[in-house]
Amino acid sequence: MSTVPTVYHPVNFAQKYSLFSEQWQPKVIARMNDYQFKLARLEGEFVWHSHADTDETFIVIEGQLRIDFRDGFVMLSAGELYVVPKGVEHKPWAEKEVKLMLIEPEGVINTGDIQGERTAQNDVWI
């Protein structure tokens, strides 16, 4: 009896980034338990916001991202990550386009407690 082997495929970031060009619109690429892994392109300034019930992880794939806080900021370059604790108000911005990954629970709205023009449709898979 012969069985066909299962073929496993990795998620390729470059291939996924080639599928979209819009900025500030995170796209889901994987799920682990209740967490989603999202890719996004960012350029310019976001809005001040917070997430009352969850931390938010930013991993920079390409470029440089600044995350402002009311009392300071953190600069992230490619290959670096930062976890914004739940409830902490923050505002990401990038002088030039940044490619990054966000890790957060399913259902988290990108603008947190603020709704506006930067609020992205949630749970969009690519």
pLDDT in tens, 40-54: 999 999 999 999 999
Residue 114, pLDDT above cutoff 80 = no
Residues found in the chain: 126
Domain containing residue 94: CATH number: 2.60.120.10
**Dist CA 65 CA 98 (whole Å):** 7
Domain coverage including residue 76: 22-105
CA-wise closest residue to 16 among 64, 61, 71 = 61
pLDDT digits (tens, 9 = 90+) for 52-97: 999 999 999 999 999 999 999 999 999 999 999 999 999 999 999 9
Q: Tokens representing 101?
A: 């990954």
In a domain, 98, yes or no: yes
pLDDT at 21: 97
pTM to 2 decimals?
0.90
In a domain, 117, yes or no: no
In a domain, 118, yes or no: no
